[in-house]
Structure 1
């Protein structure tokens, strides 16, 4: 009986500690929101208008979380909690919608979007990736999520550009075997003023005829491609530190100089969390050759 009482006392003490921690977490969350309110007020006073997304800053926050994370809580669960908080705070600046690629597995697409943006954001399903691009380009602050497939059904990235919508993120950011919401996809938005240099720059590349050479040997990555009667269109990824001329030179050295090469956005390099020490991903899809 004494042993049961001792165990009960220990459990009560642990539960009381959880109550204290829960109250502190909530207090800190409310304090974070008060800081966000101040940021929003300062932006509006300076003339800034609308929702301001900062995917580069979000990526830095996630990387710091990986560095300090320990214990039995899955890292993807911690990521989901942080994403929910980030999106909720972003919505304090104004409402926005997320437009989903209707050509993908819609259940998987919604899972990926919910995991990244949370459950309170309004989501709409578009017909195909081109519809998502057009809708986001015509919006004030909406986002789009487009499934990333090796062979695309249409070169939807042709609609991206500096005056319309651009790629701002690649999902999932944490990559692991059997992780939840693992549909490979791109997030697009209107161009973000003052955004820094992305880890990975993305280009609309086009070739007449059959694509020659092997671009992957140069460090470039073909994210997706579309074959048509006149040649090949590709969504091409390169180091964000490389200029457009340097990317063109790499293509030329591989015997695959494109007829068109246009910058269409960029993203923070995903992190492989399967390993003991997370590494940024080098490759995601296979060569289109």
Structure 2
């Protein structure tokens, strides 16, 4: 039996060229589908084409199925650019970012998650980002989750049926060495048909704080993500499992003198991997 000739360098390069051509052809095929989608949507309401629930699911599936030499960072960034760019051509939008904690980290986050085609607009704080999104036709906004006390009670600016809402927590796939790992909230005008409700966020106002309040929330799979003095009261940002009824969260807050309670958004639950390589 004759042994097969060893694969040559030329053969390997030819295979790479074939794969590159196939990838380009598939991207063009994807763009044709998007063109059809745009023509169908002409009779629908305008606004952001961002679908955070679907995007979170795509990124989780990529992370779970990925293997081999290629870093997950590269795979994730390629898909983020593809998804964000095709979203942009469906309905152009800008990304407004709070750079008060440092421009480089927020710019890295915006470019990793939304690519270079989408315009980047810096702002002085989270509240300015919320105002800009509220005044836009379909823009997105991002700001750090760990806002300091100087940021004010920004979450109260999300109260109201027409106010922007938190729609995502980025990055979708968390890991210690993520190239754009700053945890940020992403906001948009209300996207009821696109919301993913694994984690639901509430703005609440109570008369006082106590450890009993913390324990009561924990019993209902909820926690206080941020708090700030609000006159004679205390304003809270509460994150709760979407599986828990809103009434249960209200009941847990009632002993602290609850006087105000509103849902201000939701996002996918955290999904973490150990490293960028499988």
TM-score where L is the length of structure 1:
0.85
Aligned to 2:54: 57
Aligned to 2:241: 239
| 5+ residue gaps, structure 1 | 1-5, 279-289
Aligned to 1:230: 232
Q: Secondary structure at the match of 2:8?
A: helix
Q: Please give the residue correspondences for 1:1-289 in structure 2 after superposition, counting only pairs within 5 Å.
A: 10-44=8-42, 46-149=43-146, 151-153=148-150, 154-161=152-159, 162-213=161-212, 214-215=214-215, 217-218=218-219, 219-252=221-254, 255-256=255-256, 258-274=258-274
Query: What CA distance in whole angstroms lies between the structure 1 residues aligned with 2:8 and 2:154?
Result: 60
Query: What CA distance in whole angstroms lies between the structure 1 residues aligned with 2:13 and 2:207?
Result: 67
2:167–2:196: 8 Å Cα contact kept in structure 1? no
Partner deviation per Cα, 1:202-233 (whole Å, 9 max, x = no partner): 11122223344224632212222223552322
How far off is 1:87 after superposition? 0.9
Aligned to 1:281: none
How far off is 1:164 after superposition? 1.3
Change (3 A) 1:182 1:132: same
Count of residue pairs brought into register by the alignment: 268
Change (3 A) 1:52 1:261: same
1:227–1:233: 8 Å Cα contact kept in structure 2? yes
How far off is 1:257 after superposition? 5.6
Higher relative contact order (CA 8 A, sep 6+): 2
